[in-house]
Amino acid sequence: MGIIASCSVSRFIPENEYLLNDVKIHTSDKTISTTQMQGYVQQHPNSRWFSLVKVPMGPYLMSGRDSTKRINRFLQRIGEAPVIYDASKAIKTRDNIEAAVRNMGFLNAQVDLLERKKGFKLNVMYDIQTGPRYHIAELGQVIEDSVVQHLVDSTEADSRLSVGMPFDLNELDAERSRINRLLRGNGFYRFNKEYIRFEADTALGNHKVALALKVDNALVPQSTQRVPHRQYYIDEVNFLSDSTSNNLLRKSVLQVKNAIRPGELYNEQHVQETYSNLSALGAVMNSTITMTPDTTDSTRLDALVAVTTNKLHAFNIELEGTNSAGDFGAAVVLSYQNRNMFRGSELLNVKLRGAFEAIRGLEGYDNENYLEYGAEVSLAFPDFKFPGISRDFRRSSHAISEISLMYDNQNRPEFHRRVVAGAWRYRWSQHNRQRQHRIDLIDLNYVFMPWISKTFYNDYLANATSRNAILRYNYEDLFIMKWGYTFSYSSQPLSGATGNYGTNAYSIRFNVETAGNLLYGLTTLLGTARNSQNQYTLFNIAYAEFAKCDFDFSKSFRFSPTNSLSVHFGLGVAFPYGNSTILPYEKRYFSGGANSVRGWSVRGLGPGSFKGQDGRIDFINQTGDVKLDMNLEYRSHLFWKIDGAAFIDAGNIWTIRDYADQPGGQFQFDKFWRQLAASYGLGIRLNFNYFILRLDGGMKAVNPAYSDARHHFPIIHPRFKRDFALHFAVGLPF
């Protein structure tokens, strides 16, 4: 196989040319990051699957030289052409690396370009010889403008420079940017970075540098004369919304989102904040901010904030196909959006959903079909609708206040369920949208069971013992009134792309919610009587009381532009108390599926060592109060828009209490680690950057549902039909 591949490659290598086989960067100085230096490489070899094999080149090698044939053009388009070594790019790479290392303070650094040829292949190494590093021994400044001098001196603690540090030109440039931001944030509208420079004297000897910061005065146009820089104040701020449509924004909305304050010094950050605030409005398509010097006062600026609005209405239809254990069904979702409901960029969302599934194999039921229909209405305001919120905070954060109502009608052969829900929540983000917050101020859910078939009731619910306690609880009327807070952080600014493997970013998510505390306080204070199950009720319906907390962490490690490793850790704990001994089904954890331990189907794992016995109700019993997920996934670009992944997953769920219908499911510190399930597998992803279609196949490695070695360790005794699970999903798992 290798001989055939070599022959195929050689067909595409011109005479006296070479295939670029490998590129390495070497240095003996530990302060130099060779990974960082990879960014200066002008020419990379053909990409490798999982950093091992150059498979992406394969489809291209299968093509012929006749480009008039469609099959050849297709293979060359999805494949990767052999990379022919370009000596000029190698020389430029050497020069770039050498310049980068010298900029770090190694002023005498040299980079040797080493070529090693073997047949038609060539390996390249860039060997960095750093030499001694220069350090700053003296630090001074020459600033002609006294106002500028005062500002720079007052922020000396924020300076990037200090005596004794390496003479790093990157730090010098960062200091120039800092001073530029400082001055443009304090009225110096016409100031720019070019007025800031450094003079370095390397004649001190012993690899020491005397460094002087210089800030020049402003140059008078068409003259060599220099004058002090002028500070500008904001005079008037005017607003303009496009007048060609009936989709105008109220001036008061633009005023709230405006961070440019009349009477204050010009501040570039306030301009950028205003742009950011306006772009977050759904009704705004684009905006421009124009600064114009006042005609009567040369120290004042007038600001014009102009916006162009989006289309007012949007309609959408979604069709879904389902196949649940061989039962085929379909669903349709109709949605309507109004992006400027009350001329304040309020977003109205209306969704109508209908679903049908033909259920087979049920005996003793009159109707064997599943029918669902429902509606959801939400209205989002682009601001904090809450008293006491300061105007400055409203300007500096991208806030949304949202109210929603939902009704869902489900008719199954076994039961009919009605769900009514309402919520009032706040969402806001700060710091380039890296930190996001959400508060569910109030979230109400009412679950009503108007009908349960006699067959289902007699088979599963009639038993008065605790054997079916969890099952019975989930088929009773229930009222949930909860409060919650969610915080999430991403180390890189959020963007619309979902297929970016090329970052070393990490993300954290934390969520806490409680339910029933206020109701419990009111009912106990009022002395409300309990029902036959010793529960307080509201309108004769028992309400849920619980606390729930979740933590999620994920991080990516980039090895090359096409290869990265992602790790994920997730932990969740929920505890029913007071008025509840069991968590509502919607709040219980499940394991398995496309985003968990992928060797199991969704809701097919746990809790603990519990093994499902009745497929009709296992979706209830295979839930828990504690969840642990640990995932490791190596991601690699394959060819065209196809990416691949190899993964290892581990985790499980457990219950807080020892429920009779979930034997082996209770969490215990001395044995939970022996109940961790594990799986491994491969995945294929169709990556369109803005969204990803994912197909993952997982095999069970450790199955805690069995105690005997043959079944407990399927990695040693695999059976494909028993141990394999296939998952289709949209987006990355973490």
Is residue 610 scored above 50 in pLDDT? yes
Cβ proximity of 183 and 231 under 8 Å: no
Spatial distance between the Cα atoms of 640 and 90, rounded to a whole number of angstroms: 26
Reference 542, options 499, 574, 576, 579; nearest CA is 579
pLDDT score recorded for residue 72: 74
Strand, helix or coil at 542?
strand
The CA-atom distances, in angstroms, between 387 and each of 103, 379, 430 are 53, 19, 20
Lowest average pLDDT, out of 163-172, 432-441, 462-471, goes to 462-471
pLDDT score recorded for residue 328: 66
pLDDT score recorded for residue 560: 77
CA of residue 552 relative to chain centroid, distance: 12
For 294-434, list the strands marked E by DSSP.
300-309, 313-324, 327-338, 347-358, 369-381, 398-411, 415-430
Supply angle C-alpha 587, 588, 593, rounded to 5: 115
Beta-bridged to residue 416, according to DSSP, are 411, 451
Single-letter residue type at 285 = M
CATH fold match for the domains 2-46+82-129 and 135-227? yes
Interval 31-58 mean pLDDT: 80
Domain boundaries of the chain, sorted by first residue: 2-46+82-129, 135-227, 233-309, 494-535+548-734
pLDDT tens, residue by residue, 367-409: 678 889 999 999 999 988 888 777 777 766 788 999 999 999 9
Lowest average pLDDT, out of 113-122, 141-150, 359-368, goes to 359-368
Find which of 69-78, 350-359, 478-487, 606-615 is predicted with most confidence, using mean pLDDT: 478-487
Continuous H helices in 397-488: 454-456, 469-473
pLDDT score recorded for residue 616: 60
Is residue 512 scored above 90 in pLDDT? yes
Single-letter residue type at 371 = L
pLDDT band at 586 (very low <50, low <70, confident <90, very high): confident
Supply angle C-alpha 587, 591, 593, rounded to 5: 115
pLDDT tens, residue by residue, 714-730: 999 899 999 999 998 88
% pLDDT > 70, the chain? 90
The CA-atom distances, in angstroms, between 546 and each of 423, 437, 444, 486, 625 are 18, 22, 14, 17, 11
Strand, helix or coil at 399?
strand
Residue that the structure tokens 């633009």 belong to: 254
CB burial readout 183-206, b (16+ within 10 A) else e: bbbbbbbebeeebbeeeeeeeeee
Is residue 529 scored above 70 in pLDDT? yes
Spatial distance between the Cα atoms of 172 and 211, rounded to a whole number of angstroms: 10
CA of residue 354 relative to chain centroid, distance: 30
Spatial distance between the Cα atoms of 283 and 340, rounded to a whole number of angstroms: 6
Higher per-residue confidence, 135 vs 323: 135
Single-letter residue type at 730 = V
Sign of CA dihedral 261, 266, 269, 275: positive
Cβ proximity of 714 and 722 under 8 Å: yes
| Terminal CA-CA length for the chain | 37
Is residue 364 scored above 70 in pLDDT? no
Reply yes or no on domain 135-227 having CATH 3.40.50.300: no
Q: Average pLDDT, whole number, for the chain? A: 87
Residue that the structure tokens 């720019």 belong to: 192
pLDDT tens, residue by residue, 93-110: 999 999 999 999 999 999
Structure tokens that stand for 598 in this block = 């992928």
CA 669, 671, 672, 677: dihedral to nearest 10 degrees? Answer: 170
Lowest average pLDDT, out of 468-477, 552-561, 600-609, goes to 468-477
Interval 325-347 mean pLDDT: 85
Cβ proximity of 581 and 639 under 8 Å: no
The CATH code that applies to domain 2-46+82-129 is 3.10.20.310
pLDDT band at 500 (very low <50, low <70, confident <90, very high): very low
Spatial distance between the Cα atoms of 204 and 212, rounded to a whole number of angstroms: 14
The CA-atom distances, in angstroms, between 518 and each of 30, 194, 278, 288, 442 are 59, 61, 38, 48, 11
Lowest average pLDDT, out of 61-75, 512-526, 535-549, 666-680, goes to 61-75
Architecture of domain 233-309: Roll (3.10)
Spatial distance between the Cα atoms of 519 and 528, rounded to a whole number of angstroms: 11
60-64: long-range contacts, CB 8 A cutoff, minimum separation 24? 60/12, 61/5, 61/8, 61/9, 61/11, 61/12, 62/8
pLDDT tens, residue by residue, 172-222: 999 999 999 999 999 999 999 999 999 999 988 899 999 999 999 998 888
Spatial distance between the Cα atoms of 417 and 438, rounded to a whole number of angstroms: 29
pLDDT score recorded for residue 499: 38
pLDDT tens, residue by residue, 219-228: 888 888 899 9
pLDDT score recorded for residue 243: 61
pLDDT tens, residue by residue, 437-457: 999 999 999 999 999 888 888
Spatial distance between the Cα atoms of 178 and 169, rounded to a whole number of angstroms: 14
Dmax of the chain from CA atoms? 98
Higher per-residue confidence, 250 vs 69: 250
pLDDT score recorded for residue 53: 65
Reference 728, options 615, 551, 598, 624; nearest CA is 598
Local structure of residue 55 (DSSP, 8 states): G
Single-letter residue type at 436 = Q
Cβ proximity of 545 and 536 under 8 Å: no
Interval 473-487 mean pLDDT: 90
Interval 239-261 mean pLDDT: 83
Is residue 609 scored above 70 in pLDDT? yes
pLDDT band at 615 (very low <50, low <70, confident <90, very high): low
Lowest average pLDDT, out of 212-216, 252-256, 288-292, 538-542, goes to 538-542
